[in-house]
Structure 1
């Protein structure tokens, strides 16, 4: 890891000021190669992890890598964007820029005023980050709690969304019912939290793949230290979930605005049942991808499965037609180069472009392994 700016959070002195008034507090350049491969660092994609200060002073953690059409990823409850780094490297290799944003009270992002009990405030902060990074239009993806955030953001700004990818997301009527009941019996949501913790611990593949366990453990170490230092930090986000309202209006808005929705969900998810994804897809007019044998955090357990699913979807006739329509609407040819693509999807001199680390040219292909999970696609009736 190469430090290119001071990292002491007690100083909070910016090392640079970017376009749009964003102050850069600290940065590190992470090689997405796993432990023991740093002698070959020039051959692998680099993901830059930044702590930035927005125009209003709110400090936010973002991780950026790659060039091309942006995929904005928001993590699940108690997690952070860098936890998904291995999956992100494979998405970058497919020709996208990935922008992983830490939501309020997670990772390197400060919490919200008044304890952060208003879920809509998390969405507003996410929208400000996207705006100030200079991202005009993107594919939005969210895991668990992050799925709710990107769904609401896309529903409020459908002109900014190429599509929404829900990853075992808390969006859909079955989850809404769980939250409603939990208001009268908070122990129910506490039980769900206990199951989530057990599911997260089972994510680390100590027995099946020790090398992967080492890689994942290295990525998870900062998050674990943060939770141990301040275990109450995630109370606000948890309360905001308990107080959240129905997600139906968001899904109906996405359908009305013709924003494509794909709900990818593990069929063994006991935290957020598969019926939630089917409900969300039905209301939004989208499709469901069922990950067979997947629990709530399957995409952290195996970094190969999600990129393989996305490749299949993007390369399908339906995906190619959707890309053609989007590019045509934006005045782009299908064979447009990276400079042309970025001139349309980002503001001129967008801060996110300055935050993106230089990559090897040509970008090497990350070695693919066979996905651990299989999946099936359920198209809308």
Structure 2
């Protein structure tokens, strides 16, 4: 989908597309360093089944801008998502988020449960889940560790840990290379800031959890099964896919989304 619409925001301009009224609404939020194109196959599948679909690029990603003096922060991204729903006239869509987008969707539902009919989290860690001392240390050390990687090498290294299909790895390297290293580090810090352990928290709206079977980024492979048990929901594991499950296994991911949404609206 071409992002033909623009939303003016403090310090940024958000590019988005909306297939228009009719059908249950779904909002797709991409992961860190990526853009709306990671959902191209899922948009086709969803619209083909009659869903209204909204896609967008977060500030500083893809076709969305970020003013030179502005920095990417989690509060700004959360406010952008709320403003996007308002601009589209969406009261309670289903929110789908991948990686950072999944962290963002979790935080949005946690603070504004009346604005979502449900949420689907793809390859994202559990914001409210318990963190060990080692886990907290690893989270705090990640941004400094990434800062040590030369800018010219960072896109390649990130692509190699994010996908398992060779063509997807190459595609990811091209996409990651578009983002300045400073912005990427800000995006990572924002992702980490969304992790707020709260053992007693349970999602107030329906939750669907999905990950690639070969996702080895962060603690997703261990945290998501525990998250599913805590919430009493099923975790769907997509075979032969890594972190960017929508590109490694597009058809399987589309089927999972369609099944989840159709079950929700029966």
Q: TM-score, normalised by structure 2?
A: 0.80
Q: Which of 259, 263, 266 is equivalent to 1:312?
A: 259
2:163–2:248: 8 Å Cα contact kept in structure 1? no
Structure 2 vs 1, CA of residues 154 and 238 (structure 1 numbering), >3 Å: closer, same or farther? same
Which residue of structure 1 aligns with residue 233 of structure 2? 286
1:95 Cα deviation (Å)? 1.5
* Bigger CA radius of gyration: 1
Which residue of structure 1 aligns with residue 59 of structure 2? 104
1:268 Cα deviation (Å)? 1.5
1:303 Cα deviation (Å)? 2.0
2-structure distance, mates of 1:168, 1:323: 24
Q: Is 1:263 matched up with 2:209? A: yes
Q: Is 1:252 matched up with 2:204? A: no
2-structure distance, mates of 1:288, 1:170: 13
2:107–2:194: 8 Å Cα contact kept in structure 1? no
Q: TM-score, normalised by structure 1?
A: 0.58
1:280 Cα deviation (Å)? 2.6
1:231 Cα deviation (Å)? 3.9
**Alignment length (residue pairs):** 256
Which residue of structure 2 aligns with residue 239 of structure 1? 189
Counting only pairs closer than 5 Å after superposition, residues 25-64 of structure 1 correspond to structure 2 as 47-54=1-8, 58-64=12-18
2-structure distance, mates of 1:294, 1:248: 30
1-structure distance, mates of 2:15, 2:31: 15
For structure 2, the residue ranges without an aligned partner over 5 or more in a row are none
Counting only pairs closer than 5 Å after superposition, residues 269-280 of structure 1 correspond to structure 2 as 269-272=215-218, 273-280=220-227
Q: Which stretch of the first structure deviates more once superposed, 230-239 or 168-177? A: 168-177
Which residue of structure 2 aligns with residue 145 of structure 1? 100
1:156 Cα deviation (Å)? 1.7
For structure 1, the residue ranges without an aligned partner over 5 or more in a row are 1-46, 207-212, 325-381
1:89 Cα deviation (Å)? 0.8
Q: Which stretch of the first structure deviates more once superposed, 53-62 or 67-76? A: 53-62
